[in-house]
Amino acid sequence: MCLSFGAMHIGTLVGLRRLNFGGSKRLRTIESALTTVREEVGPLDACSCLYESLPGYDIDPRSKEEHNLSIPLHLNAVIRVKTDIADPHRILDILLDIEARHGRDRSSTDERLHRTLDLDLLLFKNENAESILVNAEQLTLPHPRLAQRNFVLFPLCDIDPDLMHPTEGQTVKELVLRNLKRREEALQQSLANHSSCGNDNINGSAAPYTLDGNLAVPRRCFAPNDKELWTVKGSKAAITDTLRWIGEVMQRYRFNSAGKQEQAEPEFVESLCHLKRLLENEPQTPRLMGVLNITPESFSDGGKYYGNVEAALGHARNLVADGAHIIDVGGEATNPNVQEEIPVEKETERVLPVIEAIRKHVGAGAVISVDTRRKPVAHAAAAFGADMVNDVSGGVSDPNLLSFVASRGLPFVIMHSRGTPKSMDSLANYENTVDEVARFLTEKAILVMQMGLPRWRLILDAGLGFAKTPEHSFEILRSLRELQAKIPNGIPILIGHSRKRFIGAAIKNFHCPTTVKLGEARNSDRDKQMGDRDIAGLAVACWSAMCNCVDILRVHDVKKTALVCSVMEMLVAQHASDPAVDFCALFPGCPCPETRHAVHVSSWVEEDLVNDGYTDCDSFSDAKHREQALVQTSDQSGVIQEESLKDTEGAEKRLKRLKEWRVVLHNDDIHTFECVETAITKVLPHISRARAYDIALHAHTNRQATIILTWKEKASEVATG
C-alpha cells in the first residue's frame, strides 16, 4: 500500500460562554475531531502542541472598527496523517463532513469567527514525498494563507521546522521568523504612534487590533484535565500579546478593570475579565505536584497515610492550600529496599478510596494524578476521578497502559527509568546520560502520540535517581536546557528531585551514619533526614526556575517550595513590553537563528574610565551588518561620537589604546561560555578574529554575561590583519 501524507490544521472557535476560556467544549471538540480524522483519513504520524490564539482577520473585508471583538480565543493544532487516499479532494470531502458532524454551519449567515470546528488541508505529499500543488475552486494546496498565520505556522514548526513551503521557497522555521519580525515591527510602530501620549502599550491604550491572530504569538498550552489550559514554558510573549488584546477590547467597549460599562454584555465581560486574571496569575516558576504516598514502604513517609483515608484527605487539603496544582497519589513504593512488588489488587485498594475522597471533598479545582505503572490501577483510578497518570516506567512495565491513556485521552507522565525498583541501581550505565534519556523520552512520546494521545496531554520526566547515580542526576540538572532541546518541542518537563538519594548524597555530612539503612532508622531519624533533604532540595527548585524550561516540580514539602518559588517569581520576571521573541525558547529543538545581542561596553585605560558604549544590531557576522552598525562612545564631557565599524582598522587603533574592556551581553540564550564566545565573535569580530584580547568570563546568568577582555601586547602587530 502506497501512503500519502497530509498536514492538517484543526481549529475550534466555539462561541463565547461564561468562563469558556479554559478547555471545556473547545478542547472536547478539537480532540473529538482528531479521533475522527484518525479513524476516517488515516493514522497519526505526528501531532503538534495545542495553541490558543487571538481572532484573525486576514480575509475579513470590513475595517478594523467594524469587527466584533466579543468572540472567543481559538484553539489550534496541526497533525500529519498517513493515508492510503491518494486524492486530496477526497480528503477535503471527509474533512468537511467531519466539520458538519461537529456542528459546523457553512451557510452564508454563519459568523466566520464563531465556527464550531475548522479543518483545513494545509499540504499534501504523494507516496514519493512530492508536494502536490492544487489550484481549484474548492481546494488550494498549499493552503493560500498558511505563510501568514502564526496560529498555523507555530504548530507546523513543532512537527517539521525544516519543511520547505512548496511555493514560498522558505522553510517553516524561516516563515515563523519572518512573521516574528513583522510582529516586532508592528509593535514598534504602534508604540511610536502612541508614545507622545505617555501610555503603556500593554494596558490597552493603543488603537484596537495592534496584533490580530495572524501576527500575535499563540499561547502554547498543556491540558491537565478537560477544563484547564496551562501555559507551557517559553510562551511569555503569547501572554503579553493576549493581555494587550484584552486591553484593546476593554478600551473599545470602554470597560474598566472591573468589567463595568454603560451598555454591558455580562457573559462577554465576565469571561474576558476571567481570562485576564488567569493570564496575569500564570506562574513564571514551575507549577507544583504534591506527593501523597499511600504506602507503608515508602522511604520518606511510608505509613503516614497508609490505611487512613481521613489523614490522607487532610494532607491533600494541606497540599492544595500550600500551593500544589497537582496531587500525585501513589500506592506502590519505589524504594529499592522493598523486596517484593505488591499485587495489582492491593495497589488499587490503597489508592481508590483516597482519590474518591479528594475528588469529592477537595473539589474539581484539584488536578489528581495516580502514580502507577499498571493499566488496571490507572483504569480504576480514572473511574474514581483521577485526571492523569504518572508512570515511573515510561510504559515499559505494562505496555497496555500506553494504549489505555491514548484511547481515553488521559494526560500522561512518561518517566525514564530502567529495570524495577529493586534492579535499577545495577543498570545505571550510560555513555551519554542526557542523550540516552532524551532518546528514550522522545521515542516513547512519539509512540504514544502515534497511538492517538495528543502532544498537549504529555509530560516528560528525566527520572532523577531512577537507574542513575548521584552524578547522573546532577548532570541532568546541569543540562536541563540541552535535554529540552533534544525532546519534542513544547512538551512540559517535570522534575522529581524531592527527598531523592542524590540529594542525600550531596549533604551526606549532615546525615546519620551511612551504615544505617533508611528502613532501619527510627522515625525521628528518618524525619530529620527528610527535613534536611527538603531544605537542600530547594536549591533544585531555584535552579529549575532560573533555567526557565521546567514546568512542574514534584515535591513532598509543597509549602517551602512554594515560598521559594514566590521569591524566584520576582527574580526571573521579564519586562512584559519587550517586543522581541526568544525563538530558541519557543522551539529549543531548532537550530537557533542569528539572534540580536544587546551589548554594553565599558573600557578603561589605567584606572580611568574612558568611554561607555552601547550597540544593538541584528548581527555583526557579515559585512553588510557591520557597515551599518555604529558604536556610540562618550568621553568624560558626555559628548556622543559615532564611529562606523566598517572602518575596521580605525576602530582597531582606537581599541588598542585600551588595556581592558568589560562587556555586558544581554541575550535570552546566554547560558554557557560557548554562547558567550559566539556572541563575542558576532558583536566584536575585529577583536575575536585576531584574538587580540584574552576573553575571561566574569559572571553570567541565562540572560546576561559580563566578560572582561584583556589586551594582549604581542598581538598588537597582527590585530588588524
CATH architecture under which domain 4-280 falls: 2-Layer Sandwich (3.30)
Of the candidates 180, 185, 119, the residue with the CA atom closest to the CA atom of residue 153: 180
Angle CA 465–471–475, to nearest 5? 90
Average pLDDT (665-689) is 47
pLDDT band for 195, please (50, 70, 90 cuts).
low
Comparing 261 with 282, the larger pLDDT belongs to 282
287-571 shares the fold of 4-280: no
- Residue written as cell 486574571? 277
Lowest mean pLDDT among 26-40, 331-345, 392-406: 331-345
| CATH fold of the domain at 287-571 | TIM Barrel (3.20.20)
Instruction: Extract the C-alpha cell encoding 273.
Output: 475579565
pLDDT mean over 101-126: 77
> What pLDDT is recorded for position 529?
83
- Residue spans per domain, the chain: 4-280, 287-571, 594-718
- Closest C-alpha to 446, from 491, 479, 485: 491
pLDDT confidence of residue 26: 86
Please confirm, yes or no, whether 554 is among the known catalytic residues: yes
Catalytic residue among 455, 500, 626, 682: 500
Task: Tell me, yes or no, if 82 is annotated catalytic.
Answer: no
pLDDT at 273 over 60: yes
Task: State the amino acid at position 200 in one-letter form.
Answer: D
pLDDT at 457 over 50: yes
Q: Is the pLDDT of residue 158 over 80?
A: yes
What are 702's three cell numbers?
A: 541565562
| Geometric angle at alpha carbon 710, from 707 and 715, rounded to 5° | 130
- What is the percent of the chain where pLDDT is above 70? 67
Mean pLDDT to the nearest integer, 602-607: 30
> Does residue 22 carry a pLDDT above 70?
no
Which element (helix H / strand E) includes 123? strand 118-125
Give residue 655's pLDDT: 46
pLDDT at residue 602, rounded to an integer: 36
C-alpha cell at position 553: 516540580
At 185, which helix (H) or strand (E)? helix 172-194
Q: What is the predicted pLDDT for the residue at 266? A: 47
Convert the pLDDT of each residue in 472-490 to its tens digit.
999 999 999 999 999 999 9
pLDDT tens figures, 307-357: 899 999 999 999 999 999 999 999 998 877 766 789 999 999 999 999 999
Lowest mean pLDDT among 87-91, 435-439, 588-592: 588-592
Confidence of residue 527 (pLDDT cuts 50, 70, 90): confident
Separation of alpha carbons 167 and 9, rounded Å: 18
**The pLDDT value given to residue 188:** 83
Q: What is the pLDDT of residues 229-246, one digit of tens each?
A: 999 998 889 999 999 888
The residues, any chain, with a CB within 8 Å of residue 653's CB and separated by 6 or more, are: 720
DSSP assignment letter at 343:
P
Which of 53-57, 141-145, 275-279, 454-458 is predicted most confidently?
454-458
Tell me the three state secondary structure of residue 359. Answer: helix
Pick the catalytic residue: 219, 220, 455, 554? 554
**Per-residue pLDDT at 631:** 32
Q: For the chain, first and last CA: distance in Å?
A: 62
More confident residue, 592 or 439: 439
Dist. CA 157–CA 207, nearest whole Å: 31
Give the CA distances from residue 430 to residues 50, 433, 488, in Å, rounded to whole numbers and listed in that order: 34, 5, 22
pTM: 0.79
Report the C-alpha gap between 377 and 395 in whole angstroms. 14
